Structure 1
Amino acid sequence: MISKIWLNILWCSGFLLAVVVGSVLVSLYRNRYIYRFAKTVNGFPFYPVIGNLHKIGKTSPQWKTRRRHFVKSFSPSILKSFVEFFYTNSTALVDALRKPDRPDLYIAFQNYSIDGFCEAIMGRNYNTQKKSEYSIVEDLDRLQEICRKRCVFEVFNLSVVIWGFIHEGLKTLGYLKAVSEFVNVILKDKRRDFKQSPVIADTTLKIADTLLNGDMKLTDKEIEDEITLFLSAASDTTGTTMAFIVTLLGMYEEVQEKMYEEVMTYVGDKAIGPEDLHNLKYTERVILESMRILPPIPTVGRHAKQDIHCGSKVIPKGVDIYINIIKLHRNEKFWPDPLRFNPDRFLPEEVAKRPKYCYIPFSAGPRNCIGKTYAIMSMKTSLANIVRNLKITSKYKSLEELNFHSFVTMRTITQLDCHFTARKKE
């Protein structure tokens, strides 16, 4: 009797092992071109998620319709109304950066981005910069780190079930649950506010109001997914970019001082408002040049829905295309001395000399970043507030000292060396 039980256990174990091994082999074969790409993309260990845990890059048939609704939520009038939230949250960020025990630079800027998003888009500030009870940024970072290390294999939709029995799989499900709980908290609060003060549909609704007013006919899960996407995109890319920018400012003191002079000339010590941002032209060039030399997303993917003719070459229909943004941004054909940090590359007369698509930090085409202007306005506000209050220094002398890895966003392997001291007011 005992021997039969053990034989059954062994048989079941062998069957499960065969399923797992088969899953891995089939997935590796199906995605062999992606793995070949991962080995060669400019030296960066890039690991796409393949499977049904998060179908990154999959095209939803509803995306065009939804985008048409969302693009109205990024109108100039709505974006201008967000600047006061960017400013108040940047003041909390400045206070955090002053402290000797400040958090990791990526975390600090992501928390700022989360707070700005929640207050501007959802109508409430959850003060993640000050409250330790919310770990949304850390949870999103841990998810990305796990996905960077591992691929999720999909065969007969068994990938998550199999992976869930693995230690990191269980941790990942826990992080996903934590992110979902945070999003549901802010959605619950927003629904309560929306019920008390309903918003009539028009062409100037914020994203949250657009999702909740009923016109889009989305399920609760679809609304949660959309908010999660906007939340993670707003925090991750903007937070990472800002961490890179302040580090570059610490490396290039002359650029930092020129930016400081501009801010003090056009803004001074008063609260920063939407009318000030237009005058901060050098500050914007600093942001654009930072995103050229250190794009937060180093690679973007597309799927060819038809044959594409590129000179003498043809990209056949059905092929997945990966565009190496960081290599494009450092191509000497378009960017002489590409590793030199020079914001004046983005003077209007210099921009006019280059092809439009040699610079795509926000991607390009119909699926470009819908929040581009939102991100630029948020960064201009916060960076202006930082530079006028704090002097930034860094031990780095050149970009070659920085080592990166990437999953979705590009990060340094170690924490960034960046220090902040209060400026002496004259």
Structure 2
Amino acid sequence: MKYFTPPYPERHKTKPSAIKAILQARQDLLSIWTEDSFRFEFMSQQILKQKIFIANDPRIVKDVFVTKHHIYEKKSPQMQRALEPLLGDGLFISDGDTWTSHRHIQTPLFHTGFVQNYSKIMVNTITEIVDEWANQKSSTVNVLPEMGRLTAEIISRTLFGENLGKEKASKVVKAFADYQSSIKQTPLSSFTDIPNWTDKFSIKSHMAMRAAKRIHAVVDEIIDKASEKENQETLVAHLLAANEDRESETALTREQIRNEIIVLFMAGHETTANSLAWVWYLVSQSPDVEAKLHAELDEVLGDKIPDFSDVSKLPYTRAIFDEGIRLYPPVPILSRQASEDDVIRKKKIPKGSLMLVVPWLLHRHKKLWDQPDTFIPERFLPGAENKPNKFAYVPFSAGPRVCLGKSFGIVESVLSIAIIAQRFRLTLPEGTEVLHECRLTLRPKGNLPMTLEKRDKSTKA
């Protein structure tokens, strides 16, 4: 088989200066790495007043995420400040007792039985989208916003039992994009003595707050509607019920419930949409992979629309998704702050240091992967040789803070790939350059327009 190696950002020959690294990171978090960053196991750098360590070996990643979780539980101040206007004390950025309490409420909502029930909503929503595509006059779709609309609709229906509708879904998708483009992810106050409150007085901070308020307004409105309904098998109904069963001092406030729902919305919509968009790009450039995908779908499903029970029967479809998020991890940098002094590989880690686990580096590490920059789904098939180490592949993080919606996202993605690929081929117009945009999450830059080609029995490959 011929495999596709997508272009990637230039890798520096030598380490950029501290100021240059900060300025580059403010524009693109993937542009700051050197060629050696994809070989080293443990790195450190002093950027002005901030000491930064990078765990780039599975054994050290396990230490950070599992063995010494109590030291590295706290998200970095940069991440907290970037997301606090949107998420408040939500699960993604909270820690300590707050995180433990909120996580305890939500964990039961993502057990297999619940995900199986939600999968019916996933199938119906995906089918509606492909039916729309089949009936539209244009043969072009803007893949990124369409995947955003699809995942936003799915998460809305599972969370609230409410159809967002095209207009409201577009509003939320745009607000999330506006928020990401406006936040400061490497403010100078993080590396200097400049007070961090000064960050709030920039034009971009004002734009981020406006975007956050738009998201809050939509979510508040839907919570109001959802709380009026009875006997709803929705995430928000179960969350409200679980919260009512708690003692008053541990129950979530209305604002905290909204924060947690936005965390679920962001995780269930934004990252999955980006991942699916990258998958369609990779498959469109990989004719042999596409043919193998179609063969599996035709053999296993025929013309049947897949359901939850079929997900485990589609190993190659799942492998395509797994490989897609290896190359383009949804959150390419996972940052923590050391809560106490530590020692790793004989290096002292002072309290307050930043500890980074960087899936972008780890997933393309030259010592951990064969042809690390190449799209090879076969490496994730059952029985494949050299299966990746558990802590060399962390698209959903790992340890106690592993993504709560991991199973939800995998089922949603496999069903989306299967149902769409049953009906269509998505091809990239000749000469189209696909670039990345990396702030909090990693997404294709722009809308990623692609051409739809209907598949039928006479054209199936």
Would you call these one fold, judging by a TM-score over 0.5?
A: yes
* 1:11 matched residue in structure 2: none
Q: CA RMSD in A?
A: 3.2
Choose which of 290, 308, 311 in structure 1 pairs with 2:345. Answer: 311
* Other-structure match for 1:43: 31
Distance between the aligned counterparts of 2:183 and 2:196, measured in 1?
20
Query: Does the C-alpha gap of structure 1 residues 317 and 210 become closer, same or farther in structure 2, counting only changes over 3 Å?
Result: same
Residue number in structure 1 paired with 2:10: none
> Residue 185 in 1 paired to residue 214 in 2?
no
- Shift in Å, 1:349: 3.5
Q: State the partner residue of 1:372.
A: 406
Q: Does structure 1 conserve the Cα–Cα contact (< 8 Å) formed by 2:319 and 2:378?
A: yes
Secondary structure of residue in 2 paired with 1:279:
coil
Q: Structure 1 residues 60, 179: closer, same or farther in 2, change over 3 A?
A: farther
The total of aligned residue pairs comes to 380
1:409 is matched with: 441
Of 139, 158, 162, the match for 2:175: 139
Q: Counterpart of 1:209 in 2: which secondary structure?
A: helix
1:152 Cα offset (Å): 9.2
Alignment of 1:325-344 (within 5 A): 325-344=359-378
Q: Give the CA deviation at 1:175.
A: 1.9
Q: How does 1:1-400 map to 2 (within 5 A)?
A: 35=22, 38=25, 42-43=30-31, 50=81, 53=85, 57=93, 59=95, 61-98=97-134, 99=136, 100=138, 104-127=142-165, 130-131=166-167, 135-147=171-183, 151=187, 155=195, 157=197, 159-160=199-200, 162-163=201-202, 166=203, 168-193=204-229, 196-197=230-231, 206=235, 208-213=237-242, 214-216=244-246, 217-350=251-384, 353-395=387-429
- Paired with 2:237 and 2:32, the residues of 1 have a C-alpha distance of 36
More helix by share: 1
CA distance, structure 1, for counterparts of residue 126 and residue 188 of structure 2: 37
Aligned to 1:9: none
Higher relative contact order (CA 8 A, sep 6+): 2
In the other structure, the counterpart of 1:424 is 456
TM-score by length of 1: 0.79
- Offset from partner CA, 1:147-190 (integer Å, 9 cap, x none): 26884968485653x34xx4x44443332221111101110111
Structure 2 residues without counterparts, runs of 5 or longer:
1-17, 34-77
Give the match's secondary structure for 2:164.
coil
Three-state SS of the structure 1 residue aligned to 2:183 is helix
Superimposed CA distance per residue, residues 215-248 of structure 1 (whole angstroms, 9 cap, x where no aligned partner): 3411111111111111111111000000000111
Q: Distance in 2 between matches of 1:373 and 1:178?
A: 29
Q: CA deviation at 1:96?
A: 4.5
Q: Equivalent pairs: percent with the same residue?
A: 23
Q: 1:156 to 1:263 in 2, by over 3 A?
A: closer
Amino acid at match of 1:409: T
Give, in whole Å, the separation in 1 of the partners of 2:285 and 2:196: 51
Match of 1:17 in 2: none
CA distance in 2, matches of 1:212, 1:44: 46
Q: Is the 8 A contact 1:301 1:323 kept in 2?
A: yes
Distance 1:102 1:244 in 2: 17
Question: What TM-score, normalized to structure 2?
Answer: 0.74
Secondary structure, in 3 states, of the residue corresponding to 1:408? coil
Alignment check: 8 A CA contact 2:22 2:186 kept: no
Distance 1:78 1:331, change over 3 A: same
1:351 CA drift (Å): 6.7
